[in-house]
Amino acid sequence: MEIQEIISKQKAFFKTQQTKNIRFRKMYLEKLRDLISENENLLYEAINKDFGKSKFDTFTTEISFVLNDIKYYLKNLNSFSKPKKVRTNLVNQFGKSRIHFEPLGNILVIGAWNYPYQLSLSPIVAALAAGNCCILKPSEIAENTMKAMAKIINENFPPEYLYAYEGGIDETTELLKNKFNKIFFTGSTKVGKIVYKAAAENLTPVTLELGGKSPAIITKDANLEIAAKRIVWGKFLNAGQTCVAPDYLLVEESVQEQFLEMLRKYILEFRYEPNSDHYTKIINQNNFERLIKLINKEKIYFGGNYDDEKRYIEPTILNNINWNDEVMQEEIFGPILPVISFTNFNLILNEILEHEKPLAAYLFTNNSEEKENFNQKISFGGGCINDVMMHLGNENLPFGGVGNSGIGNYHGKFGFETFSHQKAVLERATWGEPNIKYPPYSEKKLSWIKKFL
């Protein structure tokens, strides 16, 4: 079936109003939940072929997120979908005011390769929960996971409701020529600009989940042991191919040597070796070669080894880094961790402000004033104090970027709202109609209107 036919069928099906039915939405969310559970082994095998991701990491960082999203919406869909009563102001008495949440219509979700299940299926779950029809375009870079998702979806869902479209750049370009009611894209800022431009041709609203250089600040008042352990885990999970991983460290000079040694300790303890189940390969040769070029051998504190054949890069710490180094010019998206030292906390916050707003930011300290300054001064999509990445695991927090790191957000209730239109409805009584707003006008009427302000 041609993609143009699929799009036409989805537009026609949405007009039937069937997707607005809450039982209909729940039925298909339950179906997707069951299919994911039934096909877990297929999903594990596919992602392992793509870049060696283990069952443990695939479940904890991908499948569990999607299943939890489905569980969350099944529990909360009834309350989310009810019209929300809001206060009616004096001018509109006697009346009732409500906000109705209605589905946008036909949604295009363009997924990412680094967490191909989570970053493709979680937006789909939110869009279906909100009552939309969806086309999923998984990333072709993780080819086997793309095929696995397409098989599960296209063999079990009506294409006029949900369809997974396989292909590469040409297919994505063709999709973007069509008018959708919303486009949801996860990926690089560079490609995000292309998607945004294409969407503008049809006045299509977009949510862009992008990236950026996410800093982690470690001050002398931090619990250094905990900070090192959590940063090593978060940075080298998925071999650093995580959009919210700490991209670089800012470490207070007085504790720098001590902290670097702790980082080394935990890298060795966690055993990120070429054949480790918990350490993935770099996704492809292009990314592998790009990352190798970022390793300045003269500034290696730890690591730096790699295996071209296995697309393995050892966790690598670069020390004595400055803002002008090549590794600081773009998002790293790999297992390379540059370290910059600082002596003045407020000055280093000002330095961060000179750069593009990151998707995430992290601070390790037990100093309440530093926490307050961090929250007040630095603009970022989301983050943690005394941890990394774990804010993604709370469905009560929105996930999204700001500025160059993205537009819009999702997760939990925020995902439902992202794929819904909030329609305002005022219902007024038909008795007791005053003439104050009707012509002919007078100074007396105007004086009464001013009193209502």
Could you tell me the CA-to-CA distances from 336 to 232, 318, 328 in Å, in that order? 11, 7, 11
**For residue 182, which amino acid is it?**
K
Residue 29 CA to residue 407 CA, distance in Å, equals 26
Residue 146 token pair: 């793309």
Write the single-letter amino acid at 298.
Answer: E
CA distance 68 to 412: 10
DSSP β-bridge partners for residue 316: 336
Question: Distance (Å, rounded) from C-alpha 394 to C-alpha 414?
Answer: 12
> E-assigned strands of 71-178?
84-86, 95-103, 106-110, 133-137, 162-164
Which stretches does DSSP call E strand in 210-315?
215-218, 248-252, 300-302, 306-307, 312-313
| Alpha-carbon distances, residue 297 vs 128, 271, 320 (angstroms) | 49, 22, 12
Among the options 62, 160, 209, 395, which is catalytic?
Answer: 209
Q: Are 138 and 47 in contact (CB under 8 A)?
A: no
The dihedral of CA 293, 298, 304, 308: what is its sign? positive
Give the CA distances from residue 256 to residues 190, 249, 260, 262, in Å, rounded to whole numbers and listed in that order. Answer: 34, 10, 6, 10
**Chain centre to alpha carbon of residue 94:** 43
DSSP structural state of residue 87: P
Q: Specify the length of the chain in residues.
A: 453
Q: Residue 396 phi/psi, 5° resolution?
A: -85, -5
Alpha helices for 155-280 (secondary structure H): 169-176, 189-201, 224-236, 256-270
Distance CA 9, CA 178 (A): 13
Report which of 407, 366, 401 is spatially closest to residue 385, judged by C-alpha positions: 366
209 catalytic, yes or no? yes
Enumerate the active-site residues: 209
